[in-house]
Structure 1
Amino acid sequence: MPVPSAPRRTLVTGANRGLGLEFVRQLLARGDRVVATARHPARANALNHLVGEHPGRLHVLPLDVADAKSHAELARELHLVTDGLDLLINNAGVLHSGERFGHVPPAQLDDTLRTNASGPFLLTQTLAPHIADGGKVANLSSVLGSIASVDGFHTPSYAISKAAQNMATALLATALRERSIAVVALHPGWVQTEMGGSGAQITPEASVAGLLKVIDELGIDDTGTFRDWRGHAMPW
């Protein structure tokens, strides 16, 4: 895996479990400085254990990605733990299972859109002044957000939210291009996490290793693209 020439300053949302936690582990292992966020940091036992193992290089801050006030509070606290960001990984997300046509609860759809689409867009907008010119923003998307790949009525709230997030990625890419900040949508594969389920095909370790390699190799010419964890182009 290519390693940046200097320690990278990264913020990872939804870092208390699953892919977010694995991102933190692998970023720390390669020497980066990490700000990890979770809705309830006091309950993030695995994350807090990593703080003890990497003093001074990992800081945990509270964030509810669905709450714009929480974004503002994070921005106010950020300067206390880092002098800027080189990479923002918008990983936090929610998937409500069991939805079927005719029985998709409006509150469930609204919650998913706030968390998976509005949240990453508004958080990136809020944190943009803290991201260094030439930095990167990685939005964790999904093949389920690919309109061209729809093959049935599957997880509608999640699919709609990820399609909306993909548009947010494209718009952010245009807004931040003048600062040479590359913004990309990334499909992690079907990963063996609480969200992905026991039947998933890819380990979190393999997915994150692949995603970090893709992120490392991104240039400004790649901004606004949709890739999978192996670097392959995904259909919109």
Structure 2
Amino acid sequence: MTSRQPPRRSLVTGANRGLGLEFARQLLAHGDHVVATCRHPGRANALNQLVGEHPGRLHVLPLDVGDPKSHAELARELPLVMDGIDLLINNAGVLHSGERFGHVPPANLDDSLRTNASGPFLLTQTLAERLVDGATVANLSSVLGSIASTASFSTPSYAMSKAAQNMATVLLASALRERGIAVIALHPGWVQTDMGGSGAQITPVDSVRGLLKVIDGVGIGDSGTFLDYRGKPVPW
């Protein structure tokens, strides 16, 4: 008789809507124990409804990914609901639309870099002690952060911050490799979310299904790579 594997312990940031919410849904459907974070848990109606549907397996905790003090608070609270992290999904992000050359507000750049790049890097650093050896860290990036794929002036604060996040992925992969922790950057496709807009090509369900298939297949040899939701490499 084979012993049953304990449920995977997963933490998802920005889980109140869009891809983060869909990650929480599908991870729960897979049997995971999930900690879902967002800035304002009291307003996360869809997420709180999931809590009622999965008693004891989903916990919602507050986190502002752009605030290192919030990272430290999460690290203190986490052991109360989860004794380690097998999968960390750095999903929370921000996109400032409508930027034009000559009129990009400095505040947009500061906010984007803090939320999309330094935030996930510092959060992973803070939670490193909670990550189990052999864990996976998945950073939700974007093809818009691919320098090689950039052909026009578009969403500069978002693109620059995602390129910086990609460097953070490679650096974290190096730092955590000796513990067997794989760190990857993932492009979810152009997804029909508040961020992606109604003209996008792929549903959150299909994107997350593909992303989780990629995550499930990742080994330490894949650490430091940039892949899309189909598992295909994305140029840096």
CA-CA distance at 1:6 after TM superposition: 3.6
For residues 229 and 173 of structure 2, the distance between their equivalents in structure 1, rounded to whole angstroms, comes to: 19
Which AA in structure 2 matches 1:220? Answer: I
* CA deviation after TM superposition for structure 1 residue 180, in Å: 0.2
Corresponding letter in the other structure for 2:60? V
Aligned to 2:163: 163
Q: Shift of the alpha carbon at 1:215?
A: 0.2
- Which residue of the partner structure matches residue 186 of structure 2? 186
1:104 pairs with 2:104: yes
State how far apart, in whole Å, the 1-side matches of 2:97 and 2:108 are.
Answer: 10
Alignment of 1:206-225 (within 5 A): 206-225=206-225
Match of 1:36 in 2: 36
The TM-score normalised by the length of structure 2 is 0.98
Please give the TM-score of this superposition, normalised by the length of structure 1.
0.98
Describe the SS at the equivalent of 1:160: helix
State the SS of the aligned residue for 1:147. coil
Pairs within 5 Å for 1:22-33: 22-33=22-33
Provide, for residues 100-159 of structure 1, a one-character-per-residue CA deviation record: whole Å limited to 9, x for no partner: 100000011100100000000000000000000000000000000000000100000000
Which residue of structure 1 lines up, in the alignment, with residue 141 of structure 2?
141
Query: Partners of 1:66 and 1:85 in 2: how far apart?
Result: 21
**Partners in 2 of 1:7 and 1:76 — Cα distance?**
22
Report the Cα distance in structure 2 between the residues aligned to 1:109 and 1:129, rounded to whole angstroms.
Answer: 30
C-alpha RMSD of matched pairs (Å): 0.8
Q: Structure 2 CA distance, aligned partners of 1:36 and 1:65?
A: 13
Share of identical aligned residues, percent?
81
Unaligned stretches of 5+ residues in structure 2 = none
Q: How does 1:48-197 map to 2 (within 5 A)?
A: 48-197=48-197
> How many residues are matched?
233
Give me the whole-angstrom Cα distance separating, in 2, the residues matched to 1:186 and 1:5: 27
Q: CA deviation at 1:5?
A: 4.5
How big is each residue's C-alpha offset from its partner over 1:18-72, in whole Å with a ceiling of 9 and x where there is no partner? 0000000000011100000000000000000000000000000000000000000
In the alignment, residue 104 of structure 2 is paired with which amino acid?
V
Q: In the TM superposition, what are the counterparts of 1:197-208 in structure 2 within 5 Å?
A: 197-208=197-208
